Structure 1
């Protein structure tokens, strides 16, 4: 079944919603602080609460989706997200803000998980290329969402940001209701048995470890870079502009990776990407040991990591979920929960030693590089067996 352009846009919108909801209101923190008559800590806590909800909710929706079908579960999650977004637009107490942000996060976990399962379930022969088409677009979300938030907050007030999220939710609910419902699996196995099988699969576990550690390197950099640049004397506007090159690099990596996989196959491309990631990580580590006068000795090699990640994410996500076709949504939920957890740990490590951000960022990225290699070794122990099965052989050849 060949995917239509309209369906590709729909899946891309689902994949971007969580990032838009995370970042769109960030420029309105000061205005919200004044309206809620509270300190910056309470408003910032709403972001932490949201990330906790994202980490907790994804596995739940994955299990529910495999049990009740993708469309119905996705619609339920989107409705929950939409109702919470509408409530946030009219919140006037901090406890309401925190409670509704948590509920909003739980709701948005449904599209974050289920779109990946839908790709595996409906378009197995094209899944690699679909992931490679959508994931670079996801990289735009953290860059564009705050800009849209600034426009809305300056023109209509911070409440309008959540009204916009409500309208997005309504449109996606309507589009989801019009989808065919992928039937529930009706498997005799329990959730615990599914999770045990996933963790016991070297192909799945190794691929998820690669995804999580590559993402963790990104989070470590994003956490450390503002402090590193501030210590070097850069202004706030320069810090904001510094994120543009890596966004472009990530998107370029996604496109180049898509072309390269089609020409050379994902295994050969993956090895080259891990090598590129390793060289770039080593360059950042070396730079982190010196007294710098410019950010470029760190920024330039990190753009190489961004290129590698842009091409690597679709490969390892496709491998992880293709190895778990009996419960793709549960697999996607567990994968995303582990990715957020590992990335949060990397971010917390850098944040805890922010006074030495340059040094600790370099060390953390090297640790992530080691984790990436370990994941590759684990996944390749059963790789040949996994990809010589008739159905998978057909999938790989088609991709």
Structure 2
């Protein structure tokens, strides 16, 4: 089997699995308990926070452990908006955010907040000048993802952060779920107040995410009932998963530069193959993450392509995993001014550590065979 769905989830490092198993066996006390065993569990959590700060060079500030990227995004966006609503009720995001961001803003609109959804150009990038023009005296939060989870475009986070430093009353949130350990991130230098990550996107366990909260920033908690996670997230922490996520982050960060070079080469190889298949159309453009290739097959349902790839022993996806089971056009592709036919036929290939040139050639050969089989059926299967 060839697994090309790393944007949805990644295979955990064996070392992470073993570490979590050891923690589950030996450190099972509640980290909020006052006895020695509870203190030991709490120390593991605090060491994990320190490791995140060291690896991502965030310096002072809090790392909050959550259940994943979706909860972290909701905590950052709703928490900041509700906490600072007295300053103003205008929020800014983009049209191509992950559903956990996009729908969080939609919920805040129902609470009386006004949201500006910035457009992107045909390549999938935000214009910083347009963002500046959208700012008002009532703006309290700007949320822009670093790497788009569907087409892989890299947003100008550094330039946005530089702009927002002139407006200290505005919080800057970045969804970095698809970029941590894959793209350089300079949290403090770029003026990021809130940063979201997810362990299972970087070869850690599912069910654990993390949220950086800059020192001095206060969030309105989503959950109440306990003082865990500095009062931001009530509930007993998942110590083995937290420790595993910190270890996975360290291991992934150590491999980042080498991974970027290798995956960039594999991506170029795959793109050349796809360009040779006239029925397929690539989506997005540079700057773009090295681990994502996205294309459309206009006139064909993407799930047909996905299932035929599976028959070749290849696993891929359509949209983000959170939205892959609905048959609506891709909101991201529509934002790029794609036609409905184009936007309903997207396929995402996401690369990982295990892939080789041979794997790319096998994927390309499968695509050629699939298109050959489907060509007579185009538009009859839409």
TM over 0.5: no
Between structures 1 and 2, the one with greater helix share:
1
Please report the TM-score for the alignment, with normalisation by the length of structure 2.
Answer: 0.29
Structure with bigger RCO (C-alpha 8 Å, 6+ apart):
1
Between structures 1 and 2, the one with greater strand share:
2
Please report the TM-score for the alignment, with normalisation by the length of structure 1.
Answer: 0.28
